[in-house]
Amino acid sequence: MRYSALRLLKEGLTGHRGWTPAWRDADPKAHYDVVIVGGGGHGLATAHYLATVYGVRRIAVLEKGWIGGGNVGRNTTIVRSNYLLDGNIPFYEFSMKLWEGLEQDLNYNAMVSQRGVLNLCHTDAQRDAYRRRGNAMRLHGVDAELLDADGVRALAPFLDFENARFPIKGGLLQRRGGTVRHDAVAWGYARSADRHGVDIVQNCEVTRFRIEGGRVTGVETTRGFVACGKVGVAVAGNSGRVMAMAGLRLPIESHVLQAFVSEGLKPVLPGVITFGAGHFYVSQSDKGGLVFGGDIDGYNSYAQRGNLPVVEDVAEGGMALMPLIGRARLLRMWGGVMDMSMDGSPIIDVTPVEGLCFNGGWCYGGFKATPASGYAFAHLLATGAPHPTATAYRLDRFRHGRMIDEKGAGAQPNLH
Ligand SMILES: Cc1cc2nc3c(=O)[nH]c(=O)nc-3n(C[C@H](O)[C@H](O)[C@H](O)COP(=O)(O)OP(=O)(O)OC[C@H]3O[C@@H](n4cnc5c(N)ncnc54)[C@H](O)[C@@H]3O)c2cc1C
């Protein structure tokens, strides 16, 4: 079924009886050309582009829980392409361009809202670093504006500009950045993939890879064996566990990242604002809640819930940036399991097991990458070669020292 204003009008006048489920609840078949493990944003986007761009026909997405139950439905919805390094900028800008056409491509309202992302600076050195980053972005044709304190004040007058420790000196603004409704992204990709014949199989955990003569021939699941030509793994926080089933040890650690939402307030935030003197970022949802987050919990975990020290740290960051947040009541908080790579950048690559490809290491930033990641992973699965925008995301960069150390923070996930 195609969604349109006319369809909405017709259904509105006829009691909304004509709507059909957005995707089929498929049972696994005995054989597929490509099996995607993980029905998060990246797995579903991969299936969509495999079917629509690369013409692959028999595809299944196997998800151990339900669509949208992982990080894709748990993130703070921020999208941007304000990166510094050559390995990253073209990839994230490709993603931004895909976001800009996503709703037409999927025929689905994902609430793409380009409200701007503003990174604040609090020292002269930090302003220099932002100037450098903004220049690198503009050299790649990405929009970037350096604002002084008055420029920031015009956008967000309620911030604590004269804070004794962290005075606001300006900020780097990407106006095309913003937010996208996260679960709608999962549903939109699922619906489109399903319309192109992809089987989306929920409650189907992959428990083992069948590997014969160095080549993957299928996956064992809680719903039986599924044979296939190729397997693409996109399981985010479960990357280490799943790839260990193929005998691979990844340069990835799993950590919890928490997020928070306040009660609904009148519109106060123009877009996304990030604090430059601590780890705190905030935007306002369409329902009015302030959606915010900060650091990962420092210890390794596979639990989708975090602990109080980070809650305190995030609250301190919020209070230092915008004291008005102290008057708002917290409505909900939750956690997701992050696949933290050792240089803060992702991996989209083949593996030593023939036919087995891996997508992961997204750290804090995998949501904004969803369209480009799916596109590049589909390209890799279909052609065996990396997509032109993802040539730097090879697994062997850790062996050869060609890290993409975007934050310059070194091999410590809790510093990325
Ligand atoms: C609190 C929080 C805030 C965030 N904020 C942002 C943000 O503002 N901007 C941004 O760009 N990024 C953000 N991120 C990061 C982003 O959400 C992730 O990097 C991205 O969603 C990961 O990819 P995914 O959507 O495919 O993951 P997921 O949705 O987690 O998908 C992986 C799926 O694999 C499934 N799976 C695991 N093991 C198996 C198995 N054995 N068999 C079958 N299925 C399996 C899981 O059930 C899961 O559904 C945030 C993350 C969190 C947790």
Which are the contacts of 316, defined by CB distance < 8 A and separation ≥ 6? 278
Predicted local confidence at residue 153, as pLDDT: 97
- Average model confidence (pLDDT) across the chain: 95
What does DSSP say about strands 289-300 and 252-264: parallel, antiparallel, or unpaired? antiparallel
Alpha carbon distances (Å) from 352 to 170, 214, 230: 47, 8, 13
Within a 10 A sphere around the Cβ of 274, how many other Cβ atoms? 21
What's the CA-to-centroid distance between 172 and ligand 1, angstroms?
27
Structure tokens at 87: 């390995």
Confidence of residue 411 (pLDDT cuts 50, 70, 90): low
User: Which range is least confidently modeled, 52-61, 153-162, 395-404?
Assistant: 395-404
Going by pLDDT thresholds of 50, 70 and 90, the confidence category of residue 224 is very high
Distance (Å) from CA 362 to ligand 1 centroid: 9
- Band (pLDDT 50/70/90 cuts) for residue 416 is low
Q: Is the pLDDT of residue 410 over 90?
A: no
Ligand 1: residues whose CB is within 6 Å?
Answer: 37-43, 62-65, 69-72, 74-78, 205-206, 234-238, 242, 257-259, 293, 336, 338, 362, 364-368
Nearest by Cα to 181 from 298, 250, 78: 78
Give me the mean pLDDT over the 208-223 stretch: 98
Ligand 1 pocket test target in 62, 367, 393, 406 with most atoms within 8 Å of CB: 367
Residue 202: pLDDT over 70: yes
pLDDT at 349 over 60: yes
Q: Which residues make Cβ contacts (< 8 Å) with residue 378, sequence separation at least 6?
A: 46, 47, 48, 49, 50, 53, 54, 56
Spatial contact of 303 and 337, defined as CB atoms under 8 Å apart: yes
CB 261 within 8 A of CB 253: no
Please give the Cα distance from 53 to 43 (Å, whole number): 15
pLDDT band at 340 (very low <50, low <70, confident <90, very high): very high
| Ligand 1 center–CA 232 separation, angstroms | 15
The pTM score is 0.97
Q: Quick check: 17 pLDDT over 80?
A: yes
pLDDT at 52 over 80: yes
Residue nearest to atom 3 of ligand 1 (CA): 75
Q: How many CA atoms lie within 13 A of 230 on its CB side?
A: 22
